[in-house]
Structure 1
Amino acid sequence: MTEWKDWNVSARDIVADGEVSVMIHCDGCRRVSSMNIWKVGGRLADAPLQRLRLRCGRCGMYPTSIEIERETLPRHTKILTIKLNPAFWDEGHETNQRQAKARAVKRWATTLPSD
């Protein structure tokens, strides 16, 4: 764990420690969810997590960062924040991100109390 850097942590590293979890912070729906690292590791065990292109199942936005945490009762201790830098990103992804962000802004405007 001391050798983990944002650019080299892989699913294989995290699976080796049962107390470590990966949390995804979505800017679109403003929710935090846990990532199933076993599912990622089944296909991309040695791929750096930083290079993954993740998409929120609720709102469609691509998260910009994930956090690696250690589950120590009664709380979680943050180990590392990884800024995502997907390996594959094209105009279609940019368009999807822009549309999802527009939907999120519209949703925020309707849920926030007006002055």
Structure 2
Amino acid sequence: FQNKSLGDTIFRVGRDLYRKLDKNERLVGPMLLAQRQGTPYNKIKRAFYAALDFKAKDEKGGMYPPDKVFFKREYPRGLENILKSVCRLSSHQDEEAKVMKEIAKGI
């Protein structure tokens, strides 16, 4: 965040939960890979939980519009809904089911 030319503000890095929580993206994807390889992923799981609670706001105090929808529609429905609807994990896929169970344990 110190290199201003990169434009990586906390807002930009923390926003867009629908995309960043997808199973093919930066948090759930590495957890699935770790599960396949038998590698612990507690720290990634902590980052996942941090993402769920981070309401990124821009310099004007506004949230990214899709994140507003996330916190209004998905978040109140609970973790299981988020894992299935947002992360697109399936309890019928062995590794995905194991990751879902591990995430559900909390941090």
TM-score normalised by the chain length of structure 2: 0.28
Q: Which has the higher helix share?
A: 2
Q: TM-score normalized by structure 1?
A: 0.27
Asked which structure has the greater CA Rg, the reply is 1
The higher relative CO (CA closer than 8 Å, separation ≥ 6) is in 2
Structure with more of its chain in strand, by fraction: 1
